[in-house]
Amino acid sequence: MNLHEYQAKDILRRFGVTTPQGEVVTTPEAAREAATKFGGPVMVKAQVHVGGRGKAGGVKFCTTADEAYEKASNILGMSIKGLTVTKVLIAPAADIVSEAYVGIIVDRARKKPVFMVSAAGGIDIEEVAATTPEKIRYHAVDVRYGLMPFEALELGFFLYQDAKLARAAAKVMQQLYAAFMATGCSLAEINPLVVTPAGDVVALDGKMVVDDNELERRADLEALRDVESENPAEVDARNHNLTFIKLDGNVGCIVNGAGLAMATMDLVKYYGGEPANFLDIGGSSNPEKVVNALRLITADPNVKAILFNIFGGITRTDDVANGIVTAIKSNPLKVPLIIRLTGTNEEIAMQILKQNGLSASSDMDEAVKEAVRLAAAASGGTAA
Partner 1 sequence: MSVFIDQDTKLVVQGITGRDGSFHTKQMMQYGTQVVAGVTPGKGGQSFEDTVPIFNTVSEAVQASGANTAVIYVPPPYAADAIMEAAASGVSLVVCITEGVPVLDMTRVYAFVKERGVRLLGPNCPGLISPGQSKVGIIPGRICTPGPVGVVSRSGTLTYEVVYQLTSAGIGQTSCVGIGGDPINGTNFIDCLEAFERDPATKAIAMMGEIGGTDEQEAAEYVRDKMKKPVVGFIAGQTAPPGRRMGHAGAIISGSAGTAAEKIESFEQCGIGVAKRPMDFVELIKARLPKT
Site for partner 1 in 211-250 (CB under 8 A): 211, 213-214, 216-217, 245, 247
Q: Does 299 bind partner 1 (CB under 8 A)?
A: no
Q: Do 138 and 125 contact (CB within 8 A), yes or no?
A: no
> Which of 27, 63, 239, 258 contacts partner 1 by CB under 8 A?
258
Alpha-carbon distance values, 287 to 282, 290, 318, 325 (Å): 12, 5, 9, 9
Query: Which residue's CB is nearer to partner 1, number 64 or number 302?
Result: 302
What minimum distance in Å lies between the beta carbon of 114 and partner 1?
6
364 part of the interface to partner 1, by CB under 8 A = yes
When the beta carbons of 175 and 315 are compared against partner 1, the nearer one is: 315
Does residue 131 interact with partner 1 by CB under 8 A?
Answer: no
Hey, CA dihedral for 150, 152, 156, 159, is it positive or negative?
A: positive
In the region spanning residues 56 to 75, those forming contacts with partner 1, defined by CB under 8 A, are none
- 370 labelled catalytic: no
DSSP labels for 139-168? EE--TTT-S-HHHHHHHHHHH-SSHHHHHH
Q: Which of 69, 101, 160, 177 is catalytic?
A: 101
- Please give the size of the binding site for partner 1, defined by CB under 8 A: 74
Query: Should residue 54 be labelled a site residue for partner 1 when binding is judged by CB under 8 A?
Result: no
List binders of partner 1 among 67-126 (CB under 8 A).
Answer: 103, 105-109, 111-114, 116, 125-126
Smallest separation, CB 50 to partner 1 (Å): 10
Is residue 255 part of the contact set for partner 1 (CB under 8 A)? Answer: yes
Q: How many CB atoms lie within 10 A of CB 37?
A: 12
Identified catalytic residue from 23, 151, 189, 346? 189
We find the least distance from the C-beta atom of residue 62 to partner 1, in angstroms, to be: 29
Q: Which is nearer to partner 1, 299 or 314 (CB)?
A: 314
Nearer CB in complex with partner 1: 25/367: 367
Nearer to partner 1, 74 or 112 (CB): 112
Q: Which of residues 303-362 bind partner 1 (CB under 8 A)?
A: 311-315, 342-344
How, if at all, do strands 88-92 and 42-46 pair?
antiparallel
**Choices 91-99, 209-217, 225-233, 376-384; region in contact with partner 1 by CB under 8 A:** 209-217
Residues contacting residue 38 through CB under 8 Å, at least 6 positions apart: 90, 91, 92
Q: Provide the pairing of β-strand 305-312 with 337-343.
A: parallel
Residue ranges of the alpha helices (H) in the chain?
A: 5-14, 28-38, 65-75, 125-131, 149-159, 163-182, 219-222, 232-239, 258-270, 287-298, 317-330, 346-355, 364-383
AA letter at 350: M
Measured distance CA(270)–CA(247) in Å, rounded: 16
Q: Collapsing DSSP states into helix, strand and coil, what is residue 223?
A: coil
**Cα(67)–Cα(222) distance, integer angstroms:** 35
* 266 scored as a contact of partner 1 (CB under 8 A): yes
Out of 256, 285, 292, 317, the only residue in the binding site for partner 1 (CB under 8 A) is 256
101 belongs to the catalytic site:
yes
First to last CA, the chain: 43
- The catalytic site residues sit at 101, 189
